[in-house]
Structure 1
C-alpha cells in the first residue's frame, strides 16, 4: 500500500488508515504536513517588522492555521461532499498564504532564501490537497453511480 493511499479519511468512515489504534485527522499526511507549514510560518513571522504584528503577521498566521484546521473539520464531517468542501476552503487559505509570501518578498520584508522552506512546504501541501480531493471525488462519484442517496 502506498503512503499516499495509507491514510485516506472520509469523515467518520476511515478507509485503509492503519496507524496503531488511532484513526482521525491527525493520521492524514496532508494534515501533518500542513501542521509543519504552520510551524514554518510562525518561525518566518518572527522576522517580520514589529509594525506588522497586527497586519501581515496576523493574516499569515491565521491563513496558515486555517489550512490544517479545515482539513481536520472536513475529516470530522458526515459526508464525502462536506469533506471536499472543507478541503476546498483549506486550498483557499493556502492560496491566501502564498499570496502573503509574494507580498513579503516584494515589499522587502522577507528575502527569497528565508521564504524557500515555507514555499516548498506550501507546494507539498497543495499537491497533497489536490491528491486527496481527486481521490475523494472519485469515491463520491462511484457512490453516486451505485445509486446511493446524496449525502447530507
Structure 2
C-alpha cells in the first residue's frame, strides 16, 4: 500500500531530523515525536490486518490522531528553534500529503462499508 510506504518514509525523516535536537530533549520531545511517527504506519498495518472495515477504520482513526499529535510536536520544535525553516516546511508538506492520503483511505473504506450494509 502506498500510504504505508509514505508513512514509513515519514518515520525515517522524523528520526533523522530529531537526531540534531538538543540532548535534553532525548526523553521528552524527541521520544514523543518518534513514538507518534511510528504509531502512524503501525496503526495502518494493524488495521489492515484485522480484516473487518469497522476495525480497520478504528486503527486508521488512531493513525490520524497520532499524525495530528506529530503535527503539533513539529510546530513546537519549530517554535523552540530545533527545526530549520526548510526542514519545517518540508515536514509540513509531507505531513499534508500523508494526512490527505489517510483521509482519502478513511473515506473510501467508509463508503465501501456503507454500500455493503445497504
In the superposition, the TM-score normalised over structure 1's length comes to: 0.75
Q: How does 1:7-86 map to 2 (within 5 A)?
A: 28-86=1-59
Between the aligned partners of 2:15 and 2:110, the Cα distance in structure 1 is: 32
Which string of whole-angstrom CA distances, capped at 9 and with x for unpartnered residues, describes residues 58-95 of structure 1?
00000000000000000000210110110000000000
**Alignment RMSD, CA only?**
0.8
1:124 to 94, 97, 104: 97
Question: What is the number of residues matched between the two proteins?
Answer: 118
Specify every segment of 5 or more residues in structure 1 that has no aligned partner in the other structure, as ranges: 1-27, 146-152
Between the aligned partners of 1:114 and 1:49, the Cα distance in structure 2 is: 16
Q: Runs of at least 4 residues of structure 1 off by over 4 A?
A: none
Specify every segment of 5 or more residues in structure 2 that has no aligned partner in the other structure, as ranges: none
- Cα distance, 1:119 vs structure 2: 1.7
Between the aligned partners of 2:77 and 2:13, the Cα distance in structure 1 is: 15
Which residue does the alignment assign to 1:94? 67
Between the aligned partners of 1:105 and 1:83, the Cα distance in structure 2 is: 33
**8 Å CA contact 1:44, 1:115 repeated in 2:** no
- Cα distance, 1:126 vs structure 2: 0.4
Which residue does the alignment assign to 1:110? 83
